[in-house]
Amino acid sequence: MLPCKSPAIFLSLAVLLTSLTACANNPTAKNLEQSLAADPQLQNNPVVFGEAKDSQQQAQQNASKVKLPTDFPQDIPLYPNAKLEAVTPPSATENRTSTRWLSSDPSNFIANFYREQLQANNWQISQQPADDLGGVFEAQRNNVQVKVSIQAQSVTNPTPNQPQTATELLIEYLPAATATAQPTATNNPSDTSTTTSNDIPQPGNPEFIGPVLSANVATQPANTSNSQQVATVTREAQEFSDLNKVPQELRQHIQDLAKLGVLSPESSVNKSNSNTTSNLFAPSKTITRREYARWLVAANNAMYANNPAKQIRLVSESAQPAFSDVSAKDSDFPVIQGLAEAGLIPSSLSGDTTAVLFRPDAPLTREQLLLWKLPLDTRQALPSANLEVVRQTWGFQDAGKIDPKALRAVVADYQNGEQSNIRRVFGYTTLFQPKKPVTRAEAAAALWYFGIQGEGISAVDALKLKRPQN
């Protein structure tokens, strides 16, 4: 039946088209033409199937973008591969601002990032995860408190934009303005405290290296603090009678530092006269950890006498000791505690729970010399390192004997080229001997220069700045 009807249908269509063509000016034909014409709104606004839905989703995404609060402290580290999802402002019962983030990276990556960043930027860490699988960091720097919660999450319905697993970050902070208004009640780092910031460089400055003083230190009168007494000691040129015994390669370095007044004589008392101290430098004698800490602070602060932001701040004797074997009554407590609070030496303040003893009278080793000095050269987080990197750079045959904590300092020192401490102090060597005690001459040579190539300062430069003032 269908084959028979097809010719009739075609014939009818042909007649209709012929009629329309012949009667183009007929009103009936025009009405029919208009009824069959395209919608003028569609002509002006053509629609591509699927595009309207995408445009609507894009508009919703743009409308729902979350912005970081204007009072968010700039010195709080932000994980680079994390997206801000929500912001919860302070409430009547909770004065902390909360920001929620989502990242596709594993939680151990993020935990390791915050552990390194908080330590490198001199935050006082009061709590941190026992491992890198996630947990809570609580830290304080100056008068800003932060709490970072890292939690791995499982995604039940993964999409191309969201992988099977994700990590949620919750960054809660108490801004500086709020923290300053809180009363000083305890020494707990997690408590809000009042600090004086008139004489302390503010965090956020990449050159900031001073320790974060606790509340009981900041509130002490300046004229009675032990740290003030140490800090105001006048440094005058020193003369040693045995510098002819210093190795020729190191002699000029020690002479410059002696003129700067940052070295101390050999500590023994002249036996022939108990009231006269020795003026011997004793270059070949092993230096103790205590004495190197004293030299390190004195040399750094003398080099940057005109740049307070790079000076190491000494600590009052009322501070809670970071080491059980260096009490507040110790003559070098302001220096050693200052280094610990600045995060320049391993301690419980920097998250190293094993560093409970400082061992002030123990010999300083080569790896310790670098570990304490390099942060003052680079002024930033030390690079990642492993044994293979050390072997490829320095070529040390005994790289496996270097403490893992010191590996990063050894690699960073290599990147300093001709201003490397190892090259200046020990010359060319394929054996680092990391556990070998350091002599007083070697320690002094390491402190002759601070900084990186082209952007550092030597004892000679510091002397030029000191002479016009005198």
Q: Taking the model in full, what pTM does it have?
A: 0.52
Is residue 182 in a domain?
no
Half-sphere exposure of 306 (CA within 13 A, CB side): 9
Residue with tokens 């600590």: 315
301 Cβ contact partners less than 8 Å away, ≥ 6 residues apart? 231, 311, 312
pLDDT for residue 424 is more than 90: yes
Report residue 353 as tokens: 């729970």
What pLDDT score was predicted for residue 403? Answer: 92
CA atoms within 13 A on the CB side of 6: 3
Q: Please give the residue that has the higher pLDDT: either 283 or 26.
A: 283
User: Residue 373 corresponds to which amino acid?
Assistant: K
CA distance 249 to 445: 9
End of a domain among 123, 154, 176?
A: 176
Contact 145, 159 (CB under 8 A): no
Dihedral sign from CA coordinates of 346, 349, 355, 359: positive
What domain count does the chain have? Answer: 2
Together in a domain, 155 and 223:
no
222 in the same domain as 168: no
- The residue among 176, 196, 227 that closes a domain is 176
Q: Looking at residue 117, what is its pLDDT? A: 85
pLDDT of res. 199? 39
154 forms bridges with which residues in the sheet? 165
**Residue 7 within any structural domain of the chain:** no
In this structure, the answer to whether residues 455 and 315 fall within a common structural domain is yes
Give residue 116's pLDDT band: very low, low, confident or very high (50, 70, 90). confident
pLDDT, position 166: 81
Task: Give yes or no: residues 249 and 133 share one domain.
Answer: no
In a domain, 353, yes or no: yes
Whether 412 has a pLDDT exceeding 80, the answer reads yes
Residue 267: what pLDDT? 63
What is the tens place of the pLDDT at every residue in 436-464? 999 999 999 999 999 987 788 999 999 98
What's the CA gap between 72 and 127, in Å, rounded?
21
Instruction: Tell me the C-alpha distance between 118 and 277, whole Å.
Output: 43
Write the burial class of residue 145 (CB in 10 Å: 0-12 exposed, 13-18 middle, 19+ buried). Answer: buried
Predicted pLDDT of residue 211:
39
Q: Residue range 459-470: average pLDDT? A: 73
In DSSP terms, which residues pair with 181 in a beta bridge? Answer: none
The pLDDT tens digits for 179-206 are 444 433 333 433 333 333 333 334 444 4
For the segment 112-117, the average pLDDT, to the nearest whole number, is 84
d(C-alpha 215, C-alpha 191), whole Å = 10
Q: How far apart are the first and last CA of the chain?
A: 120
Q: Is 296 exposed, middle or buried (0-12, 13-18, 19+ CB in 10 A)?
A: buried
Output the CA–CA distances (angstroms, integers) from residue 408 to 69, 86, 391, in the order listed.
35, 37, 13
Residues, the chain: 470
Write down the residue that tokens 């860490």 correspond to. Answer: 125
Give phi and psi for 458, each to the nearest 5: -105, 170
Residue 2 placed within a domain = no
- 110 is a domain residue: yes
Task: Mark whether 453 and 320 lie in a shared domain.
Answer: yes
Per residue in 234-276, pLDDT (tens digit) is 466 778 888 888 888 899 999 999 999 999 887 643 344 444 4
184 found inside a domain: no
> Which range of residues forms the domain containing residue 162?
66-176
- What sign results for the dihedral spanned by CA atoms 285, 291, 294, 297? positive
Starting from the edge strand earliest in sequence, which strands make up the sheet with 97-103, in order? 82-88, 97-103, 165-174, 144-154, 135-141, 124-127
**pLDDT for position 125:** 84
Q: Is residue 432 in some structural domain?
A: no
Count the alpha carbons within 13 Å of 128 in the hemisphere toward its beta carbon.
25
The residue with greater pLDDT, 46 or 67, is 67
* Mean predicted lDDT score pLDDT of the chain: 75
CA atoms in the 13 A half-sphere facing the CB of 357: 4
pLDDT tier at 35 (50, 70, 90 boundaries)?
low
Q: Are 422 and 413 in contact (CB under 8 A)?
A: yes
Q: Higher model confidence: residue 3 or residue 219?
A: 3
Answer yes or no: do 221 and 339 share one domain: yes
Pair of tokens at residue 118: 């908080």
- The pLDDT of residue 121 is 78
**pLDDT at residue 272, as a whole number:** 41
Residue 427 has a pLDDT of 93
Taking residue 61's Cβ as centre, other Cβ atoms within 10 Å add up to 9
